Structure 1
Amino acid sequence: MFATEKEPASGTATASAPGDAAGSRVPAAAWYALAVLTTIHIFSQMDRVALSILLQLIKTDLHLSDAQLGLLSGLAFALFYALLGVPLAWLADRTSRLRLISVCLVLWSAMTALGGFARSYSQFFLSRVGVGVGEAGCLPPSYSLVGDYFPRTKRALGISLFNTGAAIGMVGGMSLTGYLGEHFGWRAALQIIGLAGLPLALITILTLREPARPKSDRPAESMLQSLWVLLRRRTFMHLSLAYALSHVATQGYSQWAPSFLMRSFDMKPTEIGAWLGGMGAAGGMLGVVSGGLLASWLVPRDQRWEIWIPAGSVALCTPLYVVMVLSPHAWLNLLSNGIIAFLTGVAGIATATVQSFTEPYRRATAVAIMMFLLSLLSSGMGPYLIGLTSDFLAPVARGESLRYALLVASVMLFWSLGHYMLAIRSAANDRVA
């Protein structure tokens, strides 16, 4: 489908990548590639959030504690997602990113489906580990591909549109899984959601081509050398930490929101899937597109806006988060969640911003480091610590232990802002592109 160049030594087909010299025009092939990669992102997010809407059903069926649920929804997935993300991204910087994405897509889809057959906590835990291993090879090479398909002046827009996959996957995952879980059980829900993603691997292999990467962009450096360079770059590290810490609160809430709404407002899974998924997806999609358009307009005028925009979004999120978890009304909780989803979507341009502080041949590795911190802190430790805090507060919180555990997580938003401020101070000295 794509016009291809001569096959390189590795045997991976390549397509011409748009460069700044060609202006800001984005070729049709790049838009098609973005559509396919975004669809993969949608299924990745669906497989990830499917568990959250089913937690209460799984807890009842398998007789699990909140701490065990936190491990299933967090650390079981995130630990291996984080640990394997960097080596897989380093591999993606040197081999076919599309082949890597396709193999990983098959793995995480199959493991999601296998989770529906689990008969014990340990079996379920292993299935979530498999999902984490598979999804570790999705986002870093995908961000790298979008960065190569789109010229620098349109990179933030391309990545913002790619990030809409998370919002679409959230509403699709919550709405569809909520319906399937309520009418057919949590096992059938996981099996259907998992198997639905398998055909995408074939589409990716048959219709997409790698954008060309100049030979000079492939230095002979080891993974440890790449890591050493990036870890010493202050702006890159402050941005990565800021992004991850803010998600400890927001993503931690997302994992626990269905259980919270069931316990505090007696909502049903179908209602939660429709309202929470709908508000979150609408806000998130509008946010990521708005963030990309805002960055495309403001950053050419002053490059500092690529940090100011996500920092400002997190600053606005902080008081809204407190209102959301303390609200005695379901409608105010859901409304606040929708606005926070919008602001979190706007802040998502941070994943494009880090590419301004990394060389093209280190992009996938840089995104993997960012995703490592995001996974370890927000996806991994966040849900588990919230569940652990909820169990700890249960004897004294009179049925509201989860609410106060979520409130404690808000301190991470303040911590995130501190790193954004430090990134602004060091940005001028660390900028690469």
Structure 2
Amino acid sequence: MMCLECASAAAGGAEEEEADAERRRRRRGAQRGAGGGGCCGARAASAAGVAAADDEVQTLSGSVRRAPSGPPSTPSTPSSAAAGKGPGAQQPKPASLGRGRGAAAAILSLGNVLNYLDRYTVAGVLLDIQQHFGVKDRGAGLLQSGGIPECTVPALHGRWPQPLSQTQHRPHFPEGVFRTHRAPSDQLPFPVFICSFMVAAPIFGYLGDRFNRKVILSCGIFFWSAVTFSSSFIPQQHFWLLVLSRGLVGIGEASYSTIAPTIIGDLFTKNTRTLMLSVFYFAIPLGSGLGYITGSSVKQAAGDWHWALRVSPILGMITGTLILFLVPATKRGHADQLGGQLKARTSWLRDMKALIRNRSYVFSSLATSAVSFATGALGMWIPLYLHRAQVVQKTAETCSNPPCGAKDSLIFGAITCFTGFLGVVTGAGATRWCRLRTQRADPLVCAVGMLGSAIFICLIFVAAKSSIVGAYICIFVGETLLFSNWAITAEILMCVVIPTRRATAVALQSFTSHLLGDAGSPYLIGFISDLIRQSTKDSPLWEFLSLGYALMLCPFVVVLGGMFFLATALFFLSDRAQAEQQVNQLVMPPASVKV
């Protein structure tokens, strides 16, 4: 027994000496590589430095841990990983992961489509909801922003009917005859969507960095699917429950905005990752357009708008199951080009401070909020605005019995789907062409697209007074230019934010875009519309004009977003260079890491 212990100790000592010798050889090789080879030499030296680093690395943000990549005594190097030799070499990806990456990205993108399909299905049946619950524009806008509405009760010619709880069959009142009664306790709307998103986003971000991400995603989808399906059975007298249920959809969006992009980032390398993230974000206009089409088509086929709210939950349950069983459980940093593993992790507070100091990230996030503001407001109100325009032009009747405005929602949804695809392709192509001429191509292309879009959005309200076809043409061009920046914005984030902060950056940017954008813009437009109509007599003409005047806020916000992209262009090169420098520091020896 003593001989075995001695042999074991001797073997252990020999292994430690051999490991120490190997570390010294790698340090010398790294120094030679750094001295002879520019960027490649520096990258090889920094990677070798991480291989020789201890498990505990001291940074300016405190102590960070390096994720283990194998036996501690045999750390890997880029050379050994490339050769596929040695116990510390990077192991090849499992066959199942290689075959299933495309399918996993498709499933995750499908889930994002369903998130937006569910939200904009409500816009496709908005007139029917207003007729059913007896709410005006302000209350209807809450369905998208998620606030608790004022206590609304229909009044016809100044005479109040019986309380809703005592009426068995509620009559359908003609559009424009509803009056709003404000309960003293409901003076201000309570932003349920904003609050639910604010609470859910950091929770999902925290859980996504520590637990099984695909399980969290599936649970989030199952939750909002159940809430949406239940909302289709809400009785007429409980409109506030419908608003509350729509606000809870923010939980599902929070799970996707914080977790799904990080999974895609771990499935693909840098070049392919940008493409797949572009496809993922293309789901925003695609899902929005399909929402209008689904809402209009299902209510016509079933003869009841409630069935429109039961389609996305069924698809959501299926997608959640597919994510749970078909999306691979990838390790964080799996596809990182610096070694396929997380090199260093700073604290969440330090990450937030670094992002706030990143000027390109801040300005591009504000610009994204402007895009979200416009798409949320236009997506909610344009179908209703065009229907009112046709009523004024005597080409359509005032909506008194559902279904209402199905044709406008269907056409607008089809335009949104096509322009979403065309915008992403056009923006990516224009950016590639401009990169040959300027290094600031990404933010400049976004700025030009935003400013051009503002012009055509203004023309919508000019053309709608006399020509619905002309209004649709302006919508087509304006949305194409507006959607051209989705993929480019994701690329800007990848360029100016280091890999270990990208998940937090995506979550914060998504949170900001919803908070300052589509979470409140539909309600704000509805509020302004009702405010303008308060000083006038209700008529089809003023219903059309008041909503048009309120929607004129959108092009001004879009112009502001273009200014933010121009500001991004001023700092883009310096912030990108700083991010590249920080990436190199992440893989340097402990004494040199300054993240």
Quote the residue 2:447 is aligned against: 311
Change (3 A) 1:146 1:102: same
Preserved contact between residue 83 and residue 372 of structure 1 (Cα < 8 Å): no
Quote the residue 1:262 is aligned against: 387
Give CA-to-partner distance per residue, 1:47-76, whole Å, 9 cap, x none.
010111122111111111211111121134
Give CA-to-partner distance per residue, 1:189-220, whole Å, 9 cap, x none.
11233222101111111111144415534515
Give CA-to-partner distance per residue, 1:372-402, whole Å, 9 cap, x none.
1211122112111101100111134722110
Secondary structure of 1:64's match?
coil
Hey, what's the Cα distance between the residues in 1 that align with 2:269 and 2:430? 17
The alignment's TM-score, normalised by the length of structure 2, stands at 0.65
Hey, what's the Cα distance between the residues in 2 that align with 1:174 and 1:218? 45
The amino acid of 1:311's aligned partner reads: A
Quote the residue 1:384 is aligned against: 523
The alignment's TM-score, normalised by the length of structure 1, stands at 0.87
The amino acid of 1:412's aligned partner reads: V
Hey, what's the Cα distance between the residues in 1 that align with 2:435 and 2:324? 35
The equivalent position to 1:410 in structure 2, one of 555, 570, 576, is: 555
Preserved contact between residue 259 and residue 503 of structure 2 (Cα < 8 Å): yes
The equivalent position to 1:370 in structure 2, one of 496, 509, 513, is: 509
Hey, what's the Cα distance between the residues in 1 that align with 2:211 and 2:410? 41
The equivalent position to 2:484 in structure 1, one of 346, 361, 364, is: 346
The equivalent position to 1:41 in structure 2, one of 75, 92, 112, is: 112
Change (3 A) 1:235 1:81: same
Change (3 A) 1:295 1:207: farther
Which moves more between the two structures, 265-274 or 122-131?
Answer: 265-274
Deviation at 1:82, TM superposition (A): 4.2
Quote the residue 2:347 is aligned against: 221
Secondary structure of 1:197's match?
helix
Preserved contact between residue 140 and residue 365 of structure 1 (Cα < 8 Å): yes
Change (3 A) 1:56 1:270: closer
The equivalent position to 2:229 in structure 1, one of 113, 118, 135, is: 113
Deviation at 1:184, TM superposition (A): 2.9
1:54 paired with 2:145, answer no
1:429 paired with 2:558, answer no
1:275 paired with 2:389, answer no
Deviation at 1:85, TM superposition (A): 2.0
Percent identity, please.
Answer: 23
Question: Which structure 2 residues correspond to residues 326-341 of structure 1 after superposition, within 5 A?
Answer: 326-327=462-463, 328=465, 329-341=467-479
Preserved contact between residue 384 and residue 405 of structure 2 (Cα < 8 Å): no
Quote the residue 1:15 is aligned against: none
Give CA-to-partner distance per residue, 1:149-169, whole Å, 9 cap, x none.
332233332222222322332
Deviation at 1:361, TM superposition (A): 2.1
Quote the residue 1:250 is aligned against: 375
Deviation at 1:246, TM superposition (A): 2.9
Secondary structure of 1:423's match?
helix
Give CA-to-partner distance per residue, 1:69-118, whole Å, 9 cap, x none.
11121134344224422442343234333222211111111111111112
Hey, what's the Cα distance between the residues in 2 that align with 1:376 and 1:245? 11
Give CA-to-partner distance per residue, 1:316-372, whole Å, 9 cap, x none.
101001001332221122222122222222110212321222122221211111111
Preserved contact between residue 113 and residue 190 of structure 1 (Cα < 8 Å): yes
Deviation at 1:293, TM superposition (A): 4.3
Preserved contact between residue 234 and residue 241 of structure 2 (Cα < 8 Å): yes
The equivalent position to 1:84 in structure 2, one of 194, 200, 208, is: 200
The amino acid of 2:117's aligned partner reads: M
Preserved contact between residue 217 and residue 360 of structure 1 (Cα < 8 Å): no
Preserved contact between residue 358 and residue 366 of structure 1 (Cα < 8 Å): yes
Higher RCO (C-alpha 8 Å, min separation 6): 1
Change (3 A) 1:93 1:352: farther
Preserved contact between residue 82 and residue 375 of structure 1 (Cα < 8 Å): no
Bigger Rg, which one:
2
Which moves more between the two structures, 27-36 or 137-146?
Answer: 27-36
Hey, what's the Cα distance between the residues in 2 that align with 1:66 and 1:217? 52
Deviation at 1:181, TM superposition (A): 2.3
Deviation at 1:139, TM superposition (A): 2.4
Change (3 A) 1:29 1:211: same
Preserved contact between residue 374 and residue 518 of structure 2 (Cα < 8 Å): no
Change (3 A) 1:86 1:296: farther
Hey, what's the Cα distance between the residues in 1 that align with 2:273 and 2:442? 12
Hey, what's the Cα distance between the residues in 1 that align with 2:507 and 2:213? 13
1:99 paired with 2:244, answer no
Hey, what's the Cα distance between the residues in 2 that align with 1:367 and 1:379? 17
1:66 paired with 2:211, answer no
Hey, what's the Cα distance between the residues in 2 that align with 1:122 and 1:295? 45
Hey, what's the Cα distance between the residues in 2 that align with 1:28 and 1:352? 25
Which moves more between the two structures, 83-92 or 305-314?
Answer: 83-92
Change (3 A) 1:347 1:73: same
Preserved contact between residue 66 and residue 387 of structure 1 (Cα < 8 Å): yes
Preserved contact between residue 232 and residue 306 of structure 2 (Cα < 8 Å): yes
Preserved contact between residue 155 and residue 352 of structure 1 (Cα < 8 Å): no
Hey, what's the Cα distance between the residues in 2 that align with 1:220 and 1:252? 38
Which moves more between the two structures, 155-164 or 108-117?
Answer: 155-164
Deviation at 1:258, TM superposition (A): 2.1
Hey, what's the Cα distance between the residues in 2 that align with 1:74 and 1:300? 42
Preserved contact between residue 282 and residue 486 of structure 2 (Cα < 8 Å): no
Quote the residue 2:254 is aligned against: 136
Change (3 A) 1:218 1:97: farther
Hey, what's the Cα distance between the residues in 1 that align with 2:364 and 2:299? 38
Secondary structure of 1:410's match?
helix
Change (3 A) 1:247 1:419: same
Hey, what's the Cα distance between the residues in 2 that align with 1:63 and 1:418? 40
Secondary structure of 2:345's match?
coil
Give RMSD over aligned pairs. 2.5
Any unmatched runs of 5+ in structure 1? 1-7, 10-20
Change (3 A) 1:210 1:230: farther
Quote the residue 1:398 is aligned against: 542
The equivalent position to 2:362 in structure 1, one of 212, 233, 237, is: 237
Deviation at 1:312, TM superposition (A): 1.5
Any unmatched runs of 5+ in structure 2? 1-66, 69-81, 83-89, 91-96, 147-191, 334-339, 397-403, 581-595
Preserved contact between residue 124 and residue 294 of structure 2 (Cα < 8 Å): no
Change (3 A) 1:168 1:398: closer
The amino acid of 2:493's aligned partner reads: V
